[in-house]
Each structure stands twice: as structure tokens, then as C-alpha cells.
Amino acid sequence: MLAAGAWYHSKMSPVVTDLHYLLPWQFYPTVFLACVIAVALYVRGLAALRRSGTPVGFGRAFTFFLGIALNYAVLQTYVDFLAQHMFWIHRLQHLILHHVGPVLIVLAAPETVLRAGTPAPILRGLRRVPSWIGRPVRLFFRILQHPLIAPTLFVGLIFFWLTPAIHFTAMLDERRYLLMNWSMLIDGILFWWLMLAPRQVQGSAAIGYGTRIIILVAVAVPQMILGAYIALRSTPLYSIYAVCGRAWDISPLTDQQLGGLLTWIPAAMMSVIGVLVVLHHMMHDPEATAPHRPLPPPAEPAGSA
């Protein structure tokens, strides 16, 4: 039987044998359902907007689907196995969850499309949410989106999950592992939405473009310092990958150096991209580019000379 199986495997097409890389290493229903629901609502919204005569451009739709696909790939394919057995793949996974994937989703400006794709009964149900529920939710959201709290939480999560002792336990406990990945993805979407979404979309939660640029520069510095510390360290920091076994035969220091570089350089590049997007919004925002007119002089009181 083993010989026959080996012969059959050797005769199979490379395309067929490589399909297992696209299958989940460990199936997570929450990830699968979240991605399927997001794609279904977006497709439904695209059709609705096309029927109404306001179609969405190919670039926006492609950017949204690419962001969803990248997040799905690092959580629901063989990449997840590699991330649990290679430190640099783990850092690549979190680079996509915390930076690249959320940036793509936010740049697609999916709010209008998702709203158009949401069934009417659900929208009516959301409008009827009691104030005693809606008010605390809005307050919690505003706290998370505060200009001081949002960047602190964004950088703090990276440092927290990369603390060696915490990282060790998170990679061994499934619940903590899921919490780590979900916290990075959700926080990434919230942070980059605050940074990159136009002020017209954000409404009362919007902050100034100048403040956004300062925040983007500020969050890049500690990530670069942490990445440099990890990459230039002469001793291994994360023993969990030696305990579980590395997927590929590379030295612990090489694995750590590659992970440190992914924490170091792409963080700065994502902030640069974010600043360019903010400058683009600033140049195309009528309120930001409108000339400031001087205030009229105060009217003189009646009876004065």
C-alpha cells in the first residue's frame, strides 16, 4: 500500500500536489465566515450600485478583494502552519494582518458598497438599536479612535505580542493565538481607517490631516527600533520555534534576523505610504485647500464717532 501510494503521488501533477498549500492548516470557522460575509455583502453592493447607475470602479473593487484575500491567505492556508513554525513567516503574517491587508481594505473605501449590499431588514434593525446599547458602543469606538489612544494601542500590541514570554505562551495556546491574530487584524483596520479614510467618510470621528501625518511618523519610530533590536540581537529571543521545530532548516539567528527586518523596514515603508495617501486627501479636500479668509472687523457700536 505504501509503495503504491508513493508511486501514485510521484505520478500526480505538480498542480494537484501543491493544492494542499491552499487548504487550511487548521480550519477556523470565524475567519472563514467573516471573509465570506464580507465578500458576499461587497458583491451584492456592487450589483446594487450598478443597477442604480453609480457603479464602482475596477480599482476599488480589486483593492478590497485583494485585502480580504491576503488576510484569508495568512489565516486559512498552509501559511498559518509556517507562521507557527518560522518566526519570520509569523512576522510576515502580522505585517499583512496589521498593515497591508487593512490598508488595502481602507483604500478601497468599501463603506458605501457594503451599506448597499446589506439587506434592508438588517439595516432597519441596526437603526432600531436602543440608545442604552448604541451610546456605550459609540463611546467605546471614540475612545479607541482618540488621537493618543489609537497610535498607542497600534504600537503597544506589537510590543505586547513580541514580548518573548507572552509570545511563547500565545504560540502554544490556541485561544491566545486566535486572540493575538484577531487583535492585530481588528486594530489594524481601526487604525488605518482613522489615518487614511477621507474626513467626509469619518464624520465626527475625523482628525486633521496634519495630526495624521504626525501620528504616522510617530508610530514608525518604535517599530523600527524594535525591529532593529530583534534583527541585531546576537542571541535567540524566541525559543518557542526551537520547541515546536522549524519548518525549514535555517539557523535560529537567521530566522530571527529576517523577522526583525520585516518588523523594521516595512513598518517605515507603510508609514511613508500612509503619509502620501494623507497628502493626496489633503490636496483633494475642498475644506483643506480653501484659502483662509480674514475675519471681518467688529462692528462699531451705535452712537460712536
Q: Which of 48-57, 71-80, 124-133, 166-175 has the lowest mean pLDDT?
A: 124-133
First to last CA, the chain: 112
Q: What percent of the chain has pLDDT over 90?
A: 66
Looking at residue 133, what is its pLDDT? 80
Q: How large is the average pLDDT for residues 56-65?
A: 95
Taking only the tens place, the pLDDT of each residue in 165-175 is 999 999 999 99
Looking at residue 199, what is its pLDDT? 85
Q: Give the span between the Cα atoms of 195 and 96, in whole angstroms.
A: 17
Q: How large is the average pLDDT for residues 122-126?
A: 84
- Is 56 within the bounds of a domain? yes
- Is 8 within the bounds of a domain? no
- Is 44 within the bounds of a domain? yes
- Is 298 within the bounds of a domain? no
9 pLDDT more than 70: no
Q: What percent of the chain has pLDDT over 70?
A: 86
294 pLDDT more than 70: no
pTM of the complete model: 0.85
- Is 130 within the bounds of a domain? no
Taking only the tens place, the pLDDT of each residue in 10-22 is 444 444 456 667 7
- Is 17 within the bounds of a domain? no
- Torsion angle of the four alpha carbons 190, 196, 199, 205, in this order, in degrees rounded to the nearest 10: 20
Q: How large is the average pLDDT for residues 107-120?
A: 92
- Is 297 within the bounds of a domain? no
- Is 170 within the bounds of a domain? yes
Q: How large is the average pLDDT for residues 195-216?
A: 88
Number of domains, the chain: 1
Looking at residue 299, what is its pLDDT? 52
Q: Which of 116-130, 151-165, 177-191 has the lowest mean pLDDT?
A: 116-130
Looking at residue 296, what is its pLDDT? 52
Per-residue confidence band for 6, with pLDDT thresholds at 50, 70 and 90: very low
Which residues span the domain enclosing 71? Answer: 22-122+138-287
DSSP per-residue codes, the chain: -HHHHHHHHHHS-HHHHGGGGGS-SS--HHHHHHHHHHHHHHHHHHHHHHHTT-PPPHHHHHHHHHHHHHHHHHHHSHHHHHHTT-HHHHHHHHHIIIIIHHHHHHHT--HHHHHHHS-HHHHHHHHT--HHHHHHHHHHHHHHTSTTHHHHHHHHHHHHHTSHHHHHHHHH-HHHHHHHHHHHHHHHHHHHHHHHS-HHHHGGG---HHHHHHHHHHHHHHHHHHHHHHHH-SS-S-THHHHH--SS---HHHHHHHHHHHHHHHHHHHHHHHHHHHHHHHHH-HHHHSPPPPPPPPPPPTT--
